[in-house]
Amino acid sequence: MPAVFCVPGENGLPAKEIVTTKSRNSRGAAASVLSAWLQTGEFPSRLMDGIGEDRAFVMELVYGVIRWHRPLLRIRSKFARRKPAQSLDAFLLVGLYQLLFLDNVQEYAAVNETVEAAKRQLGAGAGKFVNAILRRVQAAGRDEIMKGLVEAPAAIRLSHPDLLFTRWRERWGEEKTVALCEWNNGRPDVVVRVNPAKISLEDCAAAFAKAGLEAAPHAFDPKRFLVLPRGAHVAQVPGFKEGWFYVQDPSTSVAVDLLAPRPGERVLDACAAPGGKMSMMAERMAGEGTMVAMDVADERLAHLRDNLQRLGWSRVHVVQGHAAKPAAVCDTLSRRGTEPCFDAILLDVPCTNTGVLRRRPDARWRFSARRLEKACQMQRAILSGAASLLAPGGRMVYSTCSVEDEENEAQIRAWLSAHAGFECIQTRFLFPPDSGTDGAFAALLQKR
């Protein structure tokens, strides 16, 4: 019988069970995606658009190589006398990942299928090179190779950039930094938030169980979130089409709970796509009041509308706009008959995503001091723009999925020092190894 293993889902979709008897076409597709990623740094999810056959297995190979990129490069450098071209290197990394990090992939399949895929796409010489390196790795033995990694610097062994590892160690110390890196290298759980407007958590869990899915309450927020078993296909889970649940990490609840929107209020979610937080706010408001969900890109707006429709919140007004450009937002809202003045505003701002590296392993390799500064500049602009849309006495929650102080506490302190009309009421920060969730920060600000 072929071995079976679970791979993480994409964009919040559940993990899938994958047999290891996958064709060389899967290895070739993964290598093509990785070659493009190595050359361009593009988002892997975008590079995988159009891949249908064995998509989940391709995702496992792609994200696995990206997650364990540094130790894989170190191992490759020990067994290859020269650094191969990126297109060839991609095949080699795919093979190494299978041999060293996938327990249930049989070695002969990992080697033979990857070699044949390299031959097919790059020629006989490429297949010969990949075969030679992978055979050397086989001969050396997985256990011995992995033992050798113990001698590597922690950032290499734990597959994180030196910059991130050093920053975190200076802030939290070695032990907490290692714990965070280990958390980031784990497989993400698939968590759903039950929609109480449609069904109770108990009834939802019972329906899952009846379908053979034993979902468990999430320890962080057991009254609202369930952890699905690995192997579930979200679109086939009972209640998906009916809007019983939404795939969402419990960390997202913190910002909404701080804002605490009430029925009858005028509420704006200024960076709303894909809609999880907006739907939570609509639940708290019982659908009563003015609810506006705003985002920038057309494709994100389409996804936002679909999610809100499925969850039953068709009364939410979806508009295109950028909170950093309040004049344009006011014009858009006025033309739609909505007063551009809100009692409560949620700002789930763009950030460096260092709190969600478990779900988005590629984000760790994009982190840089320049990207951090650009993110902080955009966050300040959004804060200032949204503040002008807030009614006197209104409240605003600023939130990120970052663990960087510059984007969180330090950002709020700096902004408040330049905006005397606001005060910070409360902040919350989730450190993933402690909370068992994605990393998150939220600050509740009040306008005097």
Query: Coil, helix or strand for 99?
Result: helix
418: DSSP letter: T
Copy the structure tokens of residue 9. 């889902």
CB within 8 A of 324, min separation 6: which ones? 378, 381, 382, 384, 385
Query: Coil, helix or strand for 367?
Result: coil
Rounded Cα distance between 433 and 322, Å, is 34
- Of 6, 204, 271, 401, which residue is the catalytic one? 401
Q: Please confirm, yes or no, whether 401 is among the known catalytic residues.
A: yes
Count of residues in the chain: 448
Query: Coil, helix or strand for 181?
Result: helix
For residue 199, the cross-strand partners are none
CA distances 306 to 23, 163, 212, 273, 391, Å, are 35, 39, 28, 10, 30
Rounded Cα distance between 437 and 251, Å, is 6
Instruction: Name the residue with tokens 């306008």.
Output: 447
For residue 191, the cross-strand partners are 227
Q: Is-contact 184 361, C-beta < 8 A?
A: yes
Q: Is-contact 440 255, C-beta < 8 A?
A: yes
**Phi first, then psi: what are they for 390, rounded to 5°?**
-95, 135
Q: What is the DSSP string of 198-246?
A: T--HHHHHHHHHHTT---EE-TTSTTTEEEPPTT--GGGSTTTTTT-EE
The catalytic residues are 401
